[in-house]
Amino acid sequence: MALARFQSLFRTSRAAVIGMIHVKPLPGTPLSNYGMDELIEMAGKEAEIYRNSGVEGVLVENMFDLPYLERSSLGPETVACMTRICQEVRAIVPKEIPCGIQILAGGNQEALAVSKACGLQFIRAECFVFSHVADEGIMNGCAGHLLRYRHTIGAEDVMVFTDIKKKHSAHAITGDISITEMAQAARFFLADGVIITGASTGQEADHKELEDVESSVDLPVLIGSGITRENVHKYMKAHAFIVGSHFKEFGRWTENLKLERILSFTNEVKKLRGD
């Protein structure tokens, strides 16, 4: 059961806090001006901050690789660089804290490959079921190919948490399908958890959607954007929060990670959980 696996991995039944590491622009991307040693050092410093912050998980993402390539165009340099960075992060973060990866945009097989190589425990996948129009273009469901690939490389211990309504996207194609129907389809196609987000990075998710989805599938339900110390009380039914922007200075994803913001948030969550 996915719920039992989740609870065993994150060591809590509700409201696990997963902190984001937004890797600076990788080689070959338009904003890149760092060498690999610098990229590894910066990601390592953020991993060290999370090591002492009280989070239950860490998620590494190539957020600064703007503009993103659609998954069929991702180059081997992205996989190679993210593997090296995730290896460093996994070495710093204590083993009892699970680590995951997301490779934008829609690099779900690539994320599984990195997880296998680095001993990561989960991935965040985009467009697992159905199709939509993202700002990278049209993206189609990938569940069949992705889970076959996971089986082929022997990575079935890596959990797949999937966005069921991807950020930065138009959803007119699936306008006649409710978010609960999307979640049920992800469950039917063997996802290990579903993620609810706002419309864009840092935008608050609809807490009514959380209630609807949580009551309709026996899967972990994660909130993937817009969680803050001020609004987290509305989302305590969620199994986990993926938090990036709120942990940065001024609450902006482009800024530096601030330990005091993380501690304030994790302490509030522990209080609400009754820890």
Q: What is the pLDDT of residues 102-160, one digit of tens each?
A: 999 889 999 999 999 999 999 999 999 988 887 777 888 899 999 999 999 999 999 99
Q: Which amino acid, residue 195?
A: I
pLDDT in tens, 1-16: 889 999 999 999 899 9
Alpha-carbon distance 214 to 216, whole Å? 6
Name the residue among 209, 202, 249, 252 with its Cα closest to residue 227.
Answer: 202
Q: How crowded is residue 107: how many other Cβ atoms within 10 Å of its Cβ? A: 27
Maximum alpha-carbon separation in the chain = 48
Residue 201 is predicted with a pLDDT of 64
Residues of the chain with pLDDT under 50: none
Which CATH number is correct for 2-273, 3.40.190.10, 3.40.50.1010, 3.60.20.10, 3.20.20.70? 3.20.20.70
- Domains of the chain, by residue range, sit at 2-273
Residue 200 is predicted with a pLDDT of 57
Residue 138 is predicted with a pLDDT of 81
Residue 167 is predicted with a pLDDT of 58
Residue 74 is predicted with a pLDDT of 87
Give whole-number Cα distances, 155 to 108, 188, 243, in Å: 13, 20, 25
Alpha-helix runs per DSSP H in 93-197? 108-118, 143-152, 179-188
